[in-house]
Amino acid sequence: MRVLLIGAPGAGKGTQAARIARHFGLTHISSGDLLRRHVDEGTTIGRQVAEYIDRGDLVPDAIIMDMLYKPVMAASASGGYILDGFPRTVEQAEAAYAVAGELGVQVQLAVHIEVPADELTRRLKARGRGEDDSESVITHRLKVYEDKTMPLLAYYAEREKLVTVNGGRPVDEVTWSIVVQLQRARRKHLVD
């Protein structure tokens, strides 16, 4: 099973990805966690991406694709993955599909965790990671999501590979909804 979680900053992608990965025995791959690890360790990738992250902008595609190649290949070989945080644009999805399709490791189903904007803002303020979650950065991050990532929903919907769940509910209910959607997709042989 190869699943992508799509959701705005604060939608709970990381929390849900970890829970779904445990439930189905998948590897959770978070591009955000990988990027933060590279920044913290001062790697070449980390030094390249630090300024993008500080501004709340998207990191260039080539850097992300390079960083994700090994984890995606390893996870696909060991039962599948749940990907959180990439792709974030239609261009990234198309580029990832071209590479992953050739290798047989492409996303089989995208799950959109939909949360109202006011709830996202409340969650991000409550999370408070210092400068990363200041009012102006939060506003910018949500605008970038709306402009760049929201078109992904149409991209996956056109391919009949998109399900949407209400992410504004309690965490356990959101997890249950995603599990039900993935089990339904499995029965229809959309994922394996």
Annotated binding-site positions for ATP: 10-15, 127, 169
Q: Which residues are annotated as a binding site?
A: 10-15, 31, 36, 57-59, 85-88, 92, 127, 141, 169
Return d(Cα 72, Cα 69) in angstroms, integer.
5
Return d(Cα 127, Cα 76) in angstroms, integer.
32
DSSP 8-state class, residue 108: S
CA distances 185 to 86, 144, 181, Å, are: 21, 30, 6
DSSP 8-state class, residue 89: S
Smallest CA-to-CA distance from 152 within 13, 16, 38, 41 is with 13
User: How many alpha carbons lie under 13 Å from residue 94 in its C-beta half-sphere?
Assistant: 6
User: Is residue 109 within 8 Å of 192, Cβ to Cβ?
Assistant: no
User: Is residue 140 within 8 Å of 50, Cβ to Cβ?
Assistant: no
Determine how β-strand 162-166 pairs with β-strand 2-6: unpaired
Q: Which residues are annotated as a binding site for AMP?
A: 31, 36, 57-59, 85-88, 92, 141
